[in-house]
Each structure stands twice: as structure tokens, then as C-alpha cells.
Amino acid sequence: MTVGASWPWRRDETGFPALSSEGDTPRDKIRAYLHGRRGGRPYRPTEGVDALRHTFRNRTPLMMAQIEQQIAAGLANDVPTVAVVDVTVAPGRGNNETVVTIAYLQGGEIETVEVEV
């Protein structure tokens, strides 16, 4: 098992860089990607999905399908180390919440991560 610095970077309880296991890495990358904004990285200005920009818009089935397509294409282009199987976007519990569920391959098995944006 490979262990390295966690991504997104954070400190552990001792103040040193937190470590991440191999199983945590794809989940962390997906979460960081969904919360990153397009143009937020100086050397990769086209990376990002801007999922938060849809927060206060009306969530129609067409819009949800467009967001799913944007996230799937963005992950394929910007995070090629994560093998995405399926992306689902659904309204969250609150009026302005959206839940993104992403299924990906990890060690030959399908894992899922759910993120509220």
C-alpha cells in the first residue's frame, strides 16, 4: 500500500502534513476537484468544474444532466488517474443544495463518493 501526503493538503493533529492511504486518494481528488473553481490554479487555468456556480439556479432535469456531463468530462480530462464509472446529480435536502454522487473503480471494485455542493 502506498502512503503519501494527503490531497488536498492539510495538517494532522501534530501539525505535520497529513498522510493519505491509497484508498483515500481518489476520494480526496474527487472532493478537491468538485470544490475547486475553474481558473483557480494558475498553471492549469482550464481545470475545475465550478460545481458551486449552480447552487442558486433552478434545478431542472436538463440542468442536472448537463452538470453530470460536465463533471464526468472534467474528471476524465483533469483527473485521469480516477476511473469514473458513473456521475449522478440530485437535489439535496435544502433549497440550495445539490448532491453529486460519483462511482469510480478502485482496486477492481466500484467505490462511491457523495459530495454536497
Question: Which tens digit of pLDDT belongs to each residue from 21-72?
Answer: 655 578 888 888 887 777 776 777 777 776 666 666 777 888 888 889 888 9
pLDDT, residue 102, reads 94
Please state, in angstroms and rounded to a whole number, the distance separating the CA atoms of residues 44 and 47. 6
- What is the average per-residue pLDDT within 71-87? 88
- What is the average per-residue pLDDT within 73-91? 88
- 69 vs 10 pLDDT, higher one: 69
Q: Round the average pLDDT of the chain to a whole number and report it.
A: 79
Q: Which CATH class is domain 4-116?
A: alpha beta
Q: Which three cell numbers stand for residue 33?
A: 476537484
